[in-house]
A = this chain, B = another copy of it.
Amino acid sequence: MGGFFASALKEDCVFDLFFGTDYHSHLGTRRAGMVLYDTMKGFDRSIHNIENSPFRTKFDSDVQHMKGNLGIGVISDYEPQPLTLRSHHGTFAIATVGRINNRTELVNGILSERSTQFTEMSGGEINNTELVAALINEKENLIEGIRYAQEMIDGSMSILLLTPKGIYCARDKYGRTPLVIGRKEEGFCASFESFAYLNLGYVDYKILGPGEIVIMTPEAVTTLAAPGTEMKICTFLWVYYGYPASSYEGISVEGMRHRCGANLAKHDEISPDDIDVVAGVPDSGVAHAIGYANESGVPYSRPFIKYTPTWPRSFMPTIQSKRDFIARMKLIPVHELIKGRRILLIDDSIVRGTQLREKVDFLYRSGAKEVHIRPSCPPILFGCKYISFSRSTSEMELVARRIIDDLEGRHVEGDDLAPYLDPDSEEYARMIEGIRRQQGFTTLRYNRLDDMLDSVGLPKENLCTYCWNGKE
């Protein structure tokens, strides 16, 4: 994934940029960077590797020396960003969040036609953001360039582009990922996460529509390309990877999760008397579980605590031999809340099933009497092809698909999967029972697609449900 933040103020914006970018740290694990533009000093850029050290530790000293009233910052799961470039558009800086499925074709196309070059190589790979810039540079002006890049890219691409005149902010064509504008007296900010500007004194100003492009200056935010009519925002933003304090399209993540958990509870067959506690897998399962507990009247509790003080993101220590071991160390059991209990455990989703199974095994070993699993979304049957989303994986690693193949004794694809999409079918029931048995859960019930979508509250055609029903 990844996330970004931009600020355009009548005064120095480095403080806002530092914290606004830092607030996106949960979205990426590899690189982070900031570029500032100051009328006197020009462009100033800083990029660091954040794999084993938090954003704040790495950028704290840079911030002392950076200065400017326009700036963009990014947390990146992949390539080093932002880039500063010079082309016929002049000098500009660029940061992106998105996914490019047709990278090879685009690169080959560019290199076959023209004598351009890509310099931001890492391990032989071309930097995605540089590729986006190359596409933008094919056109006469920046607006056409950005639209062209978004048109050419198979996937999705949101862009922050900093020029001396202002910051171009472009949301991806179908609004799969969010981009919002905040306002305060001194100017404006643009952000992936809407919560990122709250503590910096901004209030909600504008939600960019799908494919909308604006230019942001300290004085104004002006639309350069109107939003498209078609929207397909990723439902998983609410279900799993969005920050609880954020809102997307004006709908609170925490609120959606409460409703989602409540919907799970409403249609659950299990009686509240048959469970002792409701719990959620941190972080994203927690709010779903609160919703379920509040609806059902079953006590909410935390049998796992997530250890946070020094475990920012996916710290990977150099002690190679123990990597798997370390991955398991983030959750700490509270034995008193596990022993002898019948636990209803809510996770946002089940992907490959391995992590959840480990947790459930651990609960049994710690003395849990029963473990009832309630994923807050339906079975995942398709890998994401629209955004760079970490739950996205090879489809045959999805536990639901593996169970289907087992049940049918053959590789099931395409239309043949249809029966398994219907929660009222016998096939669906067999699939669920297969997963339950294989995973060792006491009971298993997934949320229904409709219940989950109702929890968001947007028109269903505006929500991408590809992971669950393969609908493009």
Rounded to whole Å, the gap between the CB of A317 and the closest CB of chain B is: 6
If A91-B121, A112-B88 touch, does A333 touch B198 (CB 8 Å cutoff)?
yes
Q: Is the CB of A329 within 8 A of B19?
A: yes
Q: Which of A306-314, A343-351, A382-390, A412-420 contacts B (4 or more CB under 8 A)?
A: A306-314
A63 to B87, CA, bound (A): 35
A137 proximal to B (CB < 8 A): yes
A83 proximal to B (CB < 8 A): yes
A228 proximal to B (CB < 8 A): no
Residues of the B chain whose Cβ atoms lie less than 8 Å from the Cβ of A244:
302, 305, 334
Interface residues on A, range: 35 or more
If A26-B309, A199-B328, A300-B294 touch, does A120 touch B123 (CB 8 Å cutoff)?
no
A290 to B337, CA, bound (A): 13
Interface of A is mostly: mixed
Partner of A54, one of B25, B199, B312: B312
Rounded to whole Å, the gap between the CB of A296 and the closest CB of chain B is: 11
Interface string of A282-298 (1 = CB under 8 A from B): 00000100100110010
A121 to B47, CA, bound (A): 13
Q: Which of A177-185, A252-260, A428-436 contacts B (4 or more CB under 8 A)?
A: A252-260
Partner of A301, one of B52, B258, B312: B258
Residues of the B chain whose Cβ atoms lie less than 8 Å from the Cβ of A126:
86
Question: In the complex, which residue of chain B has the Cβ closest to the Cβ of A138?
Answer: B115
A85 proximal to B (CB < 8 A): yes
Q: Is the CB of B116 within 8 A of A117?
A: yes
Q: Is the CB of B334 within 8 A of A245?
A: yes
Q: Is the CB of A114 within 8 A of B115?
A: yes
Residues of the B chain whose Cβ atoms lie less than 8 Å from the Cβ of A120:
119
Q: Is the CB of A305 within 8 A of B60?
A: no
Rounded to whole Å, the gap between the CB of A128 and the closest CB of chain B is: 13
Partner of A198, one of B309, B332, B337: B332
Interface string of A175-214 (1 = CB under 8 A from B): 0000000000000000000010011000000000000000
Q: List 16 contacting pairs A-B, 8 Å CB cutoff, sorted by A.
A: A15-B322, A23-B307, A25-B310, A42-B123, A43-B123, A56-B311, A85-B117, A88-B111, A114-B114, A243-B305, A244-B302, A244-B334, A252-B337, A290-B301, A294-B301, A310-B312
